[in-house]
Copies of this chain bind each other. A is one copy, B any other.
Amino acid sequence: MTRPDKRAPDALRPVTIETGLQRNPEGSVLYRCGGTSVLISASLEDGAPRWMDTPGHGWLTAEYQMHPRCNPRRQHREGRRGSIGGRTAEIQRLIGRALRSCVALEDLGDRTITIDCDVLDADGGTRTASVTGGFVALAIALDRLVKDGSVRTGILRTPIAAISVGLLKDAPILDLCYLEDRDAEVDLNVVGTGDGAFVEVQGTAEGAPVPRAQLDAMLDLALGAMPELIASQKAALESVGVNLDRLLEKP
């Protein structure tokens, strides 16, 4: 089986992480992997949501939106005709949960962080790109708070990244592009850390149920890719003067 872009089954698409495209957000990232690009901003606001009743604790939430022309055919601008769809709701909840797990919210103070993910081009993997790129935007924003003394180092608990794996003709492949995603028998999205632990696992057998051994192989493939993704995040952070290791340091 040959992949459309000749990649090995366990190879990632090329990742580029550009920062600062937007001036206003505390963290701004344009994350690209292959034909997918997502514009991500991390915004800091004073005040926690009203439903929280734990003073001094902060919150993090995410919004995800497809640009109407992120696909070969233009689609309606979501939200203009009623409300957001189920897929969008599901994805932005995943991004929010994943990135909340990296932050020591109990020490964030009465702050809300919002991660906005706008998909500019979609070629598979937009939700995992949002998580992986979202981590970079989040770290840039938190670094600012650490540097001005508003929060302690270690407010960021651990780096995380996300990637998709699939099963195509019974063989596991990493980081599916749209064409592969469309044909895959299984679509599994994994959010993980650099040292082999899981933050979120979400997989669906589109066709026949998947034996345990194949699930294991797919989980291995996803976990194996985390160090490379986290290295990309680290490099992007360094380029804007954020030292990830110092940010993670326990105070």
Contacts and interface: CB of A to CB of B under 8 A. Distances in A.
Contacts of A73: 45
Given A35-B23, A201-B203, A205-B198, A68 B63 contact: yes
Contacts of A120: 21-22, 39
Nearest to A23: B121
A101 interface: yes
B219 A198 contact: no
B192 A198 contact: no
A74 B45 contact: yes
Interface in A27-49: 35, 37, 39, 41, 43, 45
Contact of A198 (B35, B43, B193, B210): B210
Contact of A79 (B41, B79, B205): B79
Number of copies: 6
Interface of A: 21-25, 35, 37, 39, 41, 43, 45, 63, 65, 67-74, 77-87, 89-90, 92-93, 97, 101, 114, 116, 118, 120-121, 157-158, 160, 188, 192-193, 196-212, 215-216, 219, 223
A116 B201 CA distance: 26
Contact of A97 (B188, B204, B211): B204
